[in-house]
Amino acid sequence: MDNFAFIIHPIEVSDVSRKFKLMKHLPEGAVEKIMKNIPPVKVSHITGVKSPYNEIEGWFVGCPLTTRQMMNLPEDFVLKKIIQAGKLAEKLGARIVGLGAFTSVVGDAGVTIAQNLNIAVTTGNSYTVATALEGAKKAAQIMGHDIKNSEVVIVGATGSIGKVCAQMLAKECKYMTLVGRQIKKLEDIAEKILREMGLSVRITSDIHSALKRADVIITVTSSVDSVIDADDLKPGAVVCDVARPRDVSKEVAEKRNDVLIIEGGVVEVPGDVDFHFNFGFPPKTSYACMAETMMLALEGRYENFTLGRELTVKQVEEISAIAKKHGFKLAGFRSFERAVTQSEIEAVKKNARAKLSVSMAKDSEYKAKPYAVTT
């Protein structure tokens, strides 16, 4: 049977405590110290992934490092740990392994890991971008924005993912602003979009002013810190944060309950899939990066598909076509590592309407106020 493995890791220490109850009595530092010294483990056997063309099995392999550890420990140490997880996938018999969450971010985005394994590797970023774009467009529709006439802003447009997003969205919208630090690079991308898609886009390095009029935002910078402030956003705006580390902090999300912040889409997996592990998603759904690994196994494409920090429109379109063939599809949104419920979306819409109403009333009051007459 064709197969795959997927490397996962705890996002926070609390994820470890939920799995191993004894850990919740220990300080976070002690838990991370223990994790640093234990080897990768097989988490579960995945069954039931089935399309009209093939059926596969797989395994979750746990890399015992939190996000904070992956960002702060020496890169060589973290890469060695991820490679150990990949070696475990090899021993299980997997023929392709996907890099989940921050295991796809560390170092050179999978290139060194692939060089040290005897099986194919993919970060899943191609399908992550595909579902992020699909999710952003769907979220815009839900929030009442017609993407064709919306003000679309791409933050981090000079990076490989930002550039691909801009090129693909330029086929569908009329008003686009590219934000980046290097004006010359922005000019080159704008010229390419004008030449190939016929759309004239604005460019700027002033992120805050660009965001204030944006209806739909795709943000994908390489900044270590968040780059979007709570005061930057319009009521009812949709923000799709593809960046890792995030461009939008949890604090911004907590302050702005009238803005829909998503990371991309929750993907429905074909077949009667059972992950035998609860990673916080509804049953039979997965992250897009997991889905990319599964669909490559369904295709028997045991090759390095998405690696490194360069991404092309062709890769995104190819993986989208493979997804469609095997029946993978968008099933909802995710935000801050969990699925977004319909009731949460309705609450955001209600809050946005209320804020816009207050804003319009203030504008009306201001316009109605007569000028003072002096004599």
Q: Closest Cα to residue 314, out of 174, 140, 126?
A: 126
Q: Report cis status (omega within 30 of 0) of the bond before 245.
A: yes
CA angle, residues 202, 203, 204, in degrees to nearest 5: 130
**DSSP structural state of residue 104:** G
Strands 264-268 and 285-286, bridge-based pairing? antiparallel
Q: In terms of Cα–Cα distance, which of 88, 161, 92, 155 is closest to 123?
A: 161
Q: Looking at residue 373, what is its pLDDT?
A: 46
Dihedral sign for Cα 268, 300, 60, 52, please.
positive
CA Rg, the chain, in Å?
22
Identify the pLDDT of residue 374. Answer: 45
Put the strands of the sheet holding 2-8 in their side by side order: 120-122, 96-99, 2-8, 55-62, 41-50, 271-274
User: Minimal CA–CA distance to 333: which of 92, 72, 140?
Assistant: 140
Question: Is the sign of the CA dihedral 114, 117, 120, 126 positive or negative?
Answer: negative
Instruction: Write the CB contacts of 312 (distance below 8 Å, at least 6 apart in sequence).
Output: 164
**Dmax (CA) of the chain:** 91
Q: Please give the angle made by the CA atoms of 105, 110 and 116, to the nearest 5 degrees.
A: 140
pLDDT value of position 371: 47
Rounded CA-CA distance 280/272 in Å is 18
- 347: tokens are 């609450």
Q: Please, which residues have CB within 8 angstroms of residue 163's CB and are 6 or more apart in sequence? A: 157, 189
Q: What pLDDT, on a 0 to 100 scale, did the predictor assign at position 364?
A: 63
pLDDT value of residue 370: 52
pLDDT (tens, 9 = 90+) of the chain, 375 residues, equals 999 999 999 888 878 777 777 777 788 888 888 888 999 999 999 999 999 999 999 999 999 999 889 989 999 999 999 999 999 999 999 999 999 988 988 889 899 999 999 999 999 999 989 998 999 999 999 999 999 999 999 999 998 889 999 999 999 999 999 999 999 999 999 999 999 999 999 999 999 999 999 999 999 987 878 899 999 999 999 999 988 778 998 899 899 999 999 987 789 999 999 999 988 788 899 989 999 999 999 999 999 999 998 899 999 999 999 999 999 999 888 888 778 888 999 999 999 999 888 776 666 665 555 544 443
Dist. CA 232–CA 234, nearest whole Å: 7
Q: What is the pTM of this model?
A: 0.85
- The strand pairing partners of 4, in sequence order, are 58
Question: All domains of the chain, ordered by start, with CATH?
Answer: 2-126+267-332 (no CATH), 129-265+335-359 (3.40.50.720)
